[in-house]
A = this chain, B = another copy of it.
């Protein structure tokens, strides 16, 4: 029997939807013109790029297409937003950045780099479910604060931040608000104007678009230093020959996502809830990480006590289940997930974490298969865990 493939890592990346791929195809071989060229092969590319820009502007509620700038990734958009803002504000004395303790590395590492460069950074704490308190944002604002960067929804534990309240505060104090919406876009409705945002990052491969393309929304009037200098592309703000096929694919994918959003989130949140309830009822010593409400619909994050995440992932993989973990062993860093640590987990519990993120093709049967597999694997790993042995012995003695 062939083993099934059950992909439960949509937060890491998605496949390209066939309709999206169809939309991209002409821009590889036939419509290959440089979007900056004068002649008609180039004009077709230019038109495609501008239509994509307008579509994305519509999808996130931007006032004009001209507020959308294409980048090579969500990471580049995050880097540009924050570095661009503080470099542009430096001459006027701006030197302070406010962010949270659970940002994606694209924001976190950018802030750490800027700290080395002499800027001040406040990393706001979060509560045990991963929420930033808007009052903390307000208290942290100083006269030299340039920008507040808080993610829309967390990639590991799914926490959806009180973005609107934060936007009101930044507006009131006249500081810029950047929002990393890479996990939110395509799953949660976004309206940059309603939310009071100045800068917003998205990444195509999180909503069934191609990898290697992202976008930064820059509200009209916001001045950023360029991150990538060179030619006049993207109205002189982001140099480099336009990735026409990628841009077209990204717009198509976001449009599809928005058209089907209700149905999609309904489906994946039902699967997620079912998985959560079954696992928590059938497997002991499991902790749910992140909140129950105000959570990304497809995100489930659990810690299995006494076992380590990479082993869990490998054994799940053997059964065809693709997931991810906040364990240090699978992340390549010495410490387990900074997000799990920030919500107060011990190292040990954090190492035993598993992230399951549901998507389009998952079914109820997948969930049943997953829970059976997990039950077996967790029991097996615990039976070989010295931590579990200690725990059982300690319980016997009392």
Chain A residues close to B by CB (< 8 Å)? 5, 7, 9, 12-16, 18, 21, 24, 28-30, 32-34, 36-42, 71-76, 78-79, 104-110, 112-113, 203, 205, 210-213, 225-232, 239-246, 310, 313-314, 316-317, 322-325, 330-333
The 5 closest A-B pairs by CB, nearest first: A72-B72, A212-B243, A73-B240, A15-B32, A106-B230
Closest chain B residue, CB of each to CB of A208: B32
Give Cα A242–Cα B212 distance, bound, in whole angstroms: 7
Give which listed residue, B37, B75, B79, B239, contacts A106 with CB less than 8 A.
B239
Give the Cβ gap from A126 to chain B, nearest Cβ, in Å: 20
Smallest distance from the beta carbon of A41 to chain B beta carbons, Å? 6
Chain B residues with CB under 8 A of A9: 34, 37, 39
Taking CB atoms, residues of chain B closer than 8 Å to A332 are: 232
Question: Can you name 16 A-B residue pairings with CB atoms under 8 Å?
Answer: A5-B41, A12-B241, A39-B317, A41-B322, A71-B72, A72-B72, A72-B73, A76-B240, A79-B229, A105-B232, A106-B240, A211-B241, A211-B246, A212-B242, A213-B243, A232-B332
Nearest-CB residue, chain B, relative to A8: B39
Which of A24, A76, A110 has the most chain B CB within a 10 Å cutoff?
A76
A286 to B29: give the CA distance in the assembly, Å: 34
Q: Given A39-B323, A75-B239, does the pair A229, B15 have CB atoms closer than 8 Å?
A: no
Distance of A240 Cα from B36 Cα, bound (Å): 26
Contact of A79 with B38 at beta-carbon distance under 8 Å, contacts A105-B239, A212-B212, A212-B246 already known: no
What separation, in Å, do the CA atoms of A51 and B131 have in the docked complex? 42
Q: Which residue of B lies closest to A28 (CB)?
A: B16
Chain B: minimal CB distance from A356 (Å)? 12
Closest CB in chain B relative to A10 CB, distance in Å: 10
Given contacts A105-B230, A112-B229, 12 further A-B contacts (CB under 8 A): A9-B37, A9-B39, A13-B32, A38-B325, A40-B317, A72-B72, A72-B243, A73-B228, A75-B229, A75-B241, A211-B243, A212-B243
**What copy number does this chain have within its complex?**
2
Among B29, B37, B107, which residue has its beta carbon within 8 angstroms of that of A12? B37
Report B-chain residues with C-beta under 8 Å of the C-beta of A41.
Answer: 5, 7, 322
Residues of B within 8 A of A239 (CB): 73, 75, 79, 105-106, 109
Is B75 a contact partner of A38 (Cβ separation < 8 A)?
no
> Once bound together, how far apart are the Cα atoms of A192 and B393, in whole Å?
62
Instruction: Please give, as numbers and ranges, the residues of chain B lying within 8 Å of A325 by CB-CB distance.
Output: 38
Report the bound CA distance from A228 to B36 in whole Å. 25
A33 touches B21 (CB 8 A): no
In chain B, what residue has the closest Cβ to A239? B75
- Residue contact B73 to A241, C-beta cutoff 8 Å: yes
Query: How far is A211 from B33 in the complex, measured between Cα atoms in Å?
Result: 10
Contact A230–B37 (Cβ < 8 Å): no
Question: Given the complex, which residues of B lie within 8 Å of A78, measured CB to CB?
Answer: 230
Give the residues in chain B near A109, CB-CB below 8 Å.
229-231, 239
Inter-subunit contact A32/B12 (CB<8 Å): no
The answer to whether B37 and A322 have CB atoms under 8 Å apart is: yes
Q: A18-B29, A211-B243, A240-B74 are in contact. Are A333 and B232 (CB under 8 A)?
A: yes
CB closest residue in chain B, given A226: B113
Contacts of A15 in B (CB 8 A): 28-30, 32
Q: Looking across the interface, which residue of chain B has its beta carbon closest to that of A243?
A: B212
Q: In the complex the two chains form, what is the Cα distance from A163 to B317 in whole Å?
A: 50
How far does the alpha carbon of A226 sit from the alpha carbon of B28 in the complex, in Å? 30
For A110, give its contact among B203, B230, B331 (CB under 8 Å).
B230
Q: How far is the CA of A212 from the CA of B322 in the complex (A)?
A: 28
Q: Which residues of B contact A322 (CB under 8 A)?
A: 33, 37, 39-42
